[in-house]
Chains A and B, each alone.
Chain A
Amino acid sequence: MTMEYAIETIDLVKRYPTSTRKERPIRGGQVTSFSGILSALRRMRGPFVEALRGVNLKIKRGEIFGVLGPNGAGKTTLIKILCTLVIHDEGEAYVHGFDVRKEPAEVLKNLQAVLPESRGFNWRLTGRQNLEFYALLYGLRENEAKERIDYLLEFTKLKERANDGYQQYSTGMQRRLLLCRALLRSTPILLFDEPTVGLDPASAAEFRSLLHDRLAREEEKTILLSTLNLYEAQGICDRIAILDRGKITACDTPDNIRYMMFDEKIFDIAFIDAIFNDEFEKMVDELEEMPGVHGATPEVDLERNFNGISIRVNKNMDLSGILDVIMKRGLKIRMINTEEPTLEDAFMAITGQGKEQRTWGS
């Protein structure tokens, strides 16, 4: 048992049986013993697919940790293992120091999971009635439950619609009611599986701010977030892991992951009223020879107007030297822009989904 981390997985493996049968079905006379029958029946279940292939994660207390990955990468499987809904085949997983396989009851006391497909709400009951039902299942006393429900309905801005039937709720309201349920009992760890899918941009932003500002920063909860939304991950996660075909292929802060695959950024400068002449051609050569500069491309139109220059530089380069070279030539600068690799660029490169985009920004 390791108490240092809120969540820890060690060489976690999960295989699912497929329905494809490669073996021929059992026929009379083929099996002669009970164990033979069992093994024949097992073969009939077909080959297995590996949803997780040795996943190692260490999530610190109070951290917002994002798990990114394409569809079918194993994100939901990982979350379901952690909330004891799926049993893993190999390796170990601990939540708040408790083994998810051996101590599921203790695990469930310390985490809450918001799984979009596991709504579990009764559509004919009101939002409040649904919450009251779960409050009792969580073992809250009546007064405590009432206070908590009132607070959460206020917190998620559902109070005015609390006595409406759940079926009258919009997707955003349903998602907020899920959050209410997850927070009925105050647990130190919260798991969210794609929490903003289906939400409009304003509701998604509101939800993210709720997770980041209130739950993580104010209440110091550990949050594990699985998402397909890279913007979301970059915006609120302290660290992220990229899960690809059941394996963690990268795990670091969003900034470090962004530069993991690319060691450069692009420095774009736009000029006012300049004609591209020999002197400026020499300036481009000079810039290209500077240490830390990987290349410089002038933007010149058909009338020889020198509109700007795009310079690829080392990610840590001091840009003042470049500006000095330009200013010496008396060029008037209209705009300066620095393009850095996005998490999406890194994600595409790491998961091999954008092989043709190994150089970004082009």
Chain B
Amino acid sequence: MEIPIELKQIIAFTKRDFHSWTTYKALVITQIINVFIGVFSWGVGAAYVQKPVSEMYGSDYISFLVVGIAIGNLIMPLAQGFQALNPWTLETILMTGISTPVFVIGNVMWTYIFSILTFIPYLLIGIYFFHVKLNANIPSVIAAFTISAAILMGLAMISTGLRIVTKSTDPITWAINVLGNLFAGITFPVVYLNTIFFPGISAISWLLPQTWVYHLCRLSMLTNASLLDPKILIQFLEGSIFAVVLFPIGYKIFQWGVARSKREGTLGWY
């Protein structure tokens, strides 16, 4: 059976980015070293903190933190991969007449594959050196990663669509990222916000897409959360709402950005 051309085109993007990546030898080495340094530094720091996170995930803090870092490294680069698009390349690639979904997926695929490759050593180091206790439910992990990828690609497309027009950073993505760093529970469970600040503030967290990315991934990796459990399923459905809303909005904003830029004649501008 002939491989569909769309799939071949996505492979072409991936191969291009892989070839390009392998030519940056110093970068390859530093990226690999960063994986080890990152997990050690966070792990050591966390080993001293040792705050219980049993309230949300029934797990210890080091497991919570290492899994969080691994998730961050797995999924967050999706947004960066798409944003790093060169306007000159954008013009040329748009002239090939490929479809927008191929363009979008093709541009993040290598970043995602690389993230998966670095995700594994994070977990292995966490398990062997810091005694991270994983209690993963594979179908839930797959569902969580899929929902997370859709959410982050939606955000990436919103950001890129706006940046194609503004030619600089866009305030919406900046605000989401800043709020995410504060309230998404990257290094601590969001319920702590109620203790740190004031009761009820953690409600803000659940309005942020990043919170759901971390929450669903941790739920599936630390608590053996089964999708057959109605309580878990509802949480996954809630997270899916962000994906269902953000992905098409991102797609539309990206198309709007390209069309607007074509009208203003600024597509090839930095």
Q: A77-B265, A124-B24 are in contact. Are A83 and B95 (CB under 8 A)?
A: yes
Interface bits A64-80 vs B (CB < 8 Å: 1, else 0) = 00000000000001001
Per the bound structure, the CA–CA distance linking A51 and B264 in Å amounts to 11
Is B231 positioned at the interface, with any CB of A under 8 Å from its CB? no
Q: Across the interface, which residues of A come within 8 angstroms of B12, CB to CB?
A: 132-133, 136-137
Is A84 positioned at the interface, with any CB of B under 8 Å from its CB? yes
Determine whether the beta carbon of B265 is less than 8 Å from that of A86: yes
Is B179 positioned at the interface, with any CB of A under 8 Å from its CB? no
Is A115 positioned at the interface, with any CB of B under 8 Å from its CB? yes
Determine whether the beta carbon of B95 is less than 8 Å from that of A85: yes
Determine whether the beta carbon of A80 is less than 8 Å from that of B265: yes
Determine whether the beta carbon of B94 is less than 8 Å from that of A85: yes
Is A183 positioned at the interface, with any CB of B under 8 Å from its CB? no
Interface bits B14-31 vs A (CB < 8 Å: 1, else 0) = 011001100110000000
A125's contact among B19, B96, B268, by CB below 8 Å, is which? B19
Determine whether the beta carbon of A122 is less than 8 Å from that of B88: no
Q: Across the interface, which residues of B come within 8 angstroms of A139, CB to CB?
A: 5, 9
Is A231 positioned at the interface, with any CB of B under 8 Å from its CB? no
29 contacts between A and B (CB under 8 A): A17-B264, A51-B265, A84-B94, A85-B267, A87-B262, A89-B263, A104-B97, A108-B95, A108-B96, A108-B97, A117-B268, A118-B91, A118-B92, A118-B95, A119-B88, A120-B88, A120-B93, A122-B19, A122-B20, A124-B19, A125-B20, A129-B16, A133-B13, A133-B15, A134-B96, A136-B9, A137-B96, A137-B98, A165-B23
Distance (whole angstroms) from the CB of B163 to the closest CB of chain A? 17
Determine whether the beta carbon of B259 is less than 8 Å from that of A87: yes
Is A105 positioned at the interface, with any CB of B under 8 Å from its CB? yes
Distance (whole angstroms) from the CB of A179 to the closest CB of chain B? 14
Is A138 positioned at the interface, with any CB of B under 8 Å from its CB? yes
Determine whether the beta carbon of B89 is less than 8 Å from that of A120: yes
Interface bits A85-111 vs B (CB < 8 Å: 1, else 0) = 111010000000000000011001100
Instruction: Find residues 77-99 in chain B having any chain A CB closer than 8 Å to their own CB.
Output: 86, 88-89, 91-98
A122's contact among B11, B16, B96, B265, by CB below 8 Å, is which? B16
Q: Is the interface of A mostly helix, strand, loop or mixed?
A: mixed
Determine whether the beta carbon of A137 is less than 8 Å from that of B93: yes
Supplied contacts A124-B20, A129-B16, 13 more A-B pairs, CB within 8 Å: A84-B94, A84-B262, A85-B95, A85-B267, A89-B263, A105-B97, A118-B268, A122-B19, A125-B19, A132-B12, A133-B16, A136-B9, A137-B96
Distance (whole angstroms) from the CB of B10 to the closest CB of chain A? 9
Determine whether the beta carbon of B265 is less than 8 Å from that of A14: yes
Per the bound structure, the CA–CA distance linking A115 and B127 in Å amounts to 53
Number of A-B residue pairs, CB cutoff 8 Å, is 85
Per the bound structure, the CA–CA distance linking A352 and B16 in Å amounts to 49
Minimal Cβ-Cβ distance residue in B for A16: B265
Per the bound structure, the CA–CA distance linking A42 and B92 in Å amounts to 30
Q: A119-B92, A125-B16, A133-B12 are in contact. Are A85 and B24 (CB under 8 A)?
A: no
Q: Lowest 9 CB-CB distances: which A-B pairs, in order?
A: A120-B92, A136-B12, A108-B97, A124-B23, A137-B96, A118-B91, A124-B20, A87-B262, A120-B89
Q: Across the interface, which residues of B come within 8 angstroms of A104, CB to CB?
A: 97
Q: Across the interface, which residues of B come within 8 angstroms of A51, CB to CB?
A: 265
Is A224 positioned at the interface, with any CB of B under 8 Å from its CB? no
Instruction: Find residues 113-151 in chain A having any chain B CB closer than 8 Å to their own CB.
Output: 113, 115, 117-120, 122, 124-125, 129, 132-134, 136-139
Distance (whole angstroms) from the CB of A227 to the closest CB of chain B? 19
Determine whether the beta carbon of A117 is less than 8 Å from that of B8: no
Q: Across the interface, which residues of A come within 8 angstroms of B88, CB to CB?
A: 117-120
Per the bound structure, the CA–CA distance linking A105 and B262 in Å amounts to 15
Determine whether the beta carbon of A120 is less than 8 Å from that of B9: no
Q: Across the interface, which residues of B come within 8 angstroms of A112, CB to CB?
A: 95
Q: Across the interface, which residues of B come within 8 angstroms of A134, CB to CB?
A: 96
Q: Is the interface of B mostly helix, strand, loop or mixed?
A: helix
Q: Across the interface, which residues of A come within 8 angstroms of B92, CB to CB?
A: 115, 118-120
Distance (whole angstroms) from the CB of B17 to the closest CB of chain A? 9
Q: Across the interface, which residues of A come within 8 angstroms of B95, CB to CB?
A: 83-85, 108, 112-113, 118
Per the bound structure, the CA–CA distance linking A133 and B107 in Å amounts to 13
Q: Across the interface, which residues of B come within 8 angstroms of A108, CB to CB?
A: 95-97
Per the bound structure, the CA–CA distance linking A133 and B92 in Å amounts to 12
Q: Across the interface, which residues of B come within 8 angstroms of A86, CB to CB?
A: 262-263, 265, 267
Q: Across the interface, which residues of B come within 8 angstroms of A77, CB to CB?
A: 265
Distance (whole angstroms) from the CB of A136 to the closest CB of chain B? 4
Distance (whole angstroms) from the CB of B83 to the closest CB of chain A? 17
Determine whether the beta carbon of B96 is less than 8 Å from that of A115: no
Distance (whole angstroms) from the CB of A243 to the closest CB of chain B? 16
Distance (whole angstroms) from the CB of A16 to the closest CB of chain B? 5
Distance (whole angstroms) from the CB of A167 to the closest CB of chain B? 10
Determine whether the beta carbon of A87 is less than 8 Å from that of B263: yes
Instruction: Find residues 216-270 in chain B having any chain A CB closer than 8 Å to their own CB.
Output: 259, 262-265, 267-268
Instruction: Find residues 1-47 in chain A having any chain B CB closer than 8 Å to their own CB.
Output: 14, 16-17
Per the bound structure, the CA–CA distance linking A83 and B19 in Å amounts to 29
Interface bits A164-192 vs B (CB < 8 Å: 1, else 0) = 01000000000000000000000000000
Q: Across the interface, which residues of A come within 8 angstroms of B98, CB to CB?
A: 137
Determine whether the beta carbon of A129 is less than 8 Å from that of B19: yes
Q: Across the interface, which residues of B come within 8 angstroms of A136, CB to CB?
A: 5, 8-9, 11-12
Per the bound structure, the CA–CA distance linking A166 and B265 in Å amounts to 28
Per the bound structure, the CA–CA distance linking A108 and B92 in Å amounts to 11
Q: A125-B20, A139-B5, A165-B23 are in contact. Are A120 and B91 (CB under 8 A)?
A: yes
Q: Across the interface, which residues of B come within 8 angstroms of A132, CB to CB?
A: 12
Per the bound structure, the CA–CA distance linking A119 and B89 in Å amounts to 7
Per the bound structure, the CA–CA distance linking A300 and B46 in Å amounts to 100
Q: Which of A84, A124, A129 has the most CB of B within 10 A?
A: A124
